[in-house]
Structure 1
Amino acid sequence: MSTPRIGETALARGVTATWWYTAVGVAFFVALTALFWILWAWAAPALDAPWRFPISIAGSLAWIAASILLLLDYRPSVLAARDGERHPPSTLTMTGFVLAALGAILLGLGTSSLLAAAAVVAFVLSVRPWTPGVRWRVVVGATLLVLVLVFVEASAFATQGIPVSAFSAPAFFVLMVPSMTAFSLWWWEIVLELDWARTAESQLAATRERLRLANDVHDLQGHHLQVIALQLELAERLLAKDPAAAAEQIRAAQGAVNEARAGTRALATSFRGVPLPDELENAADLLRAAGHDVRMHVGAGAASAPADVLGPIVRESVTNVLKHGDGARARIDLSRDGDTWVYRMVNDAADHGGGAGGVGGAEGGADVAWGSGLTGMGERLEVSGGKVEAWNDGTSFTVQVRLPVGHAPVAGTSDLPATTGEHA
């Protein structure tokens, strides 16, 4: 059995996937443009020299290889510039330049067209990581140059008896090369900026929340410590005159200490709390990032479900799927059945013996052994009157949790036994 690793499915999340979609799209457009020129060299009646066709193929392959190398170096260049670092041309870029020059020469000779060579040059200019102002000037200049060459060569080919209609398809794709390349890369950079903005926003929100927590802790502890200090000072003064009154003040100080501890625990619990619908969305995103095909159903009123009890259960069940599932599919369900909340995690069956086991027998499934994962779930649920079941029917493994709607509040959640597993 192979445990799914998030690093193996990095393309499933973030701007990394967006980048590869963009790069593949640009490379595909280059290949399509080169294909039109190969067909031109093969079909044009005035280009009947037998060596032109293989030369055109070689030039096209060189151009495609150059585009791949230049795109591979484009993303690190942009990321380095974003971090304020200088990214000098790498071996990939220099090799790409050499292949592009070779491709322009061979493609121009094979098609007997300066426009074909200009297409390669225009692409190289457009794929460079210019600053935004410089890039669009370069793109506009390259497009105007290509447009002039289109009219010049259309007239020249017409005098050779080659119809303009036969020349229109490769000319159109060459005309689109600079703008399409630049626009695709610009679109990816916009997505990158949005991702950076989202990250900065989340970091700022976390910082604000920490400051809020620090202020709340300061107010809470400062108030109680001041009261405790006054009570102990009064007890010290009363100790010789009235020991009973001094003892009363000491007991009051102890009560203030207990109130401070309870308040701090409640404050920490509220700070850690995440609404259950958000918890479920995070669980689904994590499983998708690990390569699972995730289906999720959240019933009406899920926002009122007890996040203090079910939140840790959701996290533990996701950990079990990541550690013990087959890594292909998962289904998350949360619904209300009368006076009971029912949470269910179903994933493709695998070896669940070491830490993902549970109580068998439900719905005709085969028994599975208790493991530390569901043991922790059971201990959490026992406090609130809930129960956990698990079964393996041979094709899927199911963990089901039933929790009464009017469950008893969980006191001191932080004191409960921690569940096993690493939560990403």
Structure 2
Amino acid sequence: MKQLAPLSATPPPSTPVVGALVSATGPGKEAMHPLLPIMRNGLDPHEELGRLRHEHPVVAFPMLGLGKAWLVTRHEDVRAVLGDAGTFGNELSLARDVTMPHTAGQWRPGGLGFHDSPVHTRRRRLLAPAFRTRVIRDMARRLEDIVATQLERMAQAGPPADLVRALAEPVASAVMSELIGVPDADRRATGSGRFDLSGELGTSIAAADRSLEDVVELVARQRAGRRAGLLGRLISEHGDQLDDRELAGLIDGLLTGGLGTTASMIATGCLVLLRDDRLVTSLRREDAPIDRLLDELLRYVCVAQLAFPRFARRDVILRGQRIRAGDAVFCSLPTANRDPALGTDMDEVDPHRRTTAHLAFGFGVHRCLGAPLARLEMRVVFPALLRRFPGIRLAVPAERIEFKRFSVIHGVESLPVTW
């Protein structure tokens, strides 16, 4: 079977990003911008990702100091990679030919994303009780109160307002603070530059380390004093088996995964809704069938740009490409979610679309543990906002909304609204 030639090295810094993402360098060879997988045109994946999905669904590309990495863009293939933990693992030790900046050399990730069984299984079981159906259902009333409080603050301040800072971030922060028992979750979760890959990888990792150290201090304080939330439960029930750093890694992972993504999804989902009068009208009804629309918004927006990288445990052939043991595999979730194989007009929001097997929360053993909580937050926020402010609308033309650039978590920088 004919193999696709490996792509050449990263384009020089002077290469313009837009318009030169993929340029011919010889027969069968192309140069790809290393940040293409996290580039968007507004709400849409970059058009070059759509071309790759059609022509080269599994393609070699340069990224983040990895000697050999692959980008997977078709829905079927992404599910195959994420669903096969026996072939594709998450442990960084599986990677080969890795060139890390000196600032990243001693990085030791906590949480779940960069670990396989048995570590991943053990840690996930520790966290799972906080996200059981009964627990999430019991949180609904408290979440309604949190949202109502933020909406009242918006009303008192008067228009205009930025829905990112007036609603999305405060709601996500309050929910995570209460669930985990960590005050000021928004300040502790992301750190400056944690999701921004426009600079060196070491900058992002250093931001992650700063956030982790902050949580380590919180763990120590709860061990010695009053215990609250999930963190307090973990200390009380498993504190003898978990040291402060492992506990901090678990909590930091939840904050990272549950705050930035949810806040971005709330704000960006609001943008989609406010651009479409049909959706606004339907959600204002008390009996609005919201679940199908939520799935469609999650599929369409998909703020998580990439799944955690996987590393091949052994040589494997995928779509005719030989992926060797130790190669990194990156799965583009937004591009897979727009795959025409899932249905018609996948680049449009269809509130009547039958629920698709979207990948907004990932897939397989690493599927987002907090998915039910994130869905609950959206189910409460969207109708409450539209009912509280019947005349709410964008305060600037939609084309002037500024989006994040080169961020693993996509979203709007701000969302000005008035009423």
For Structure 1 versus Structure 2, the TM-score category normalised by the shorter chain is under 0.3
The structure where helix makes up a greater share of residues is: 1
Q: TM (normalized to structure 2)?
A: 0.22
TM superposition score normalised by structure 1: 0.22
Structure of higher CA gyration radius: 1
The higher relative CO (CA closer than 8 Å, separation ≥ 6) is in 2
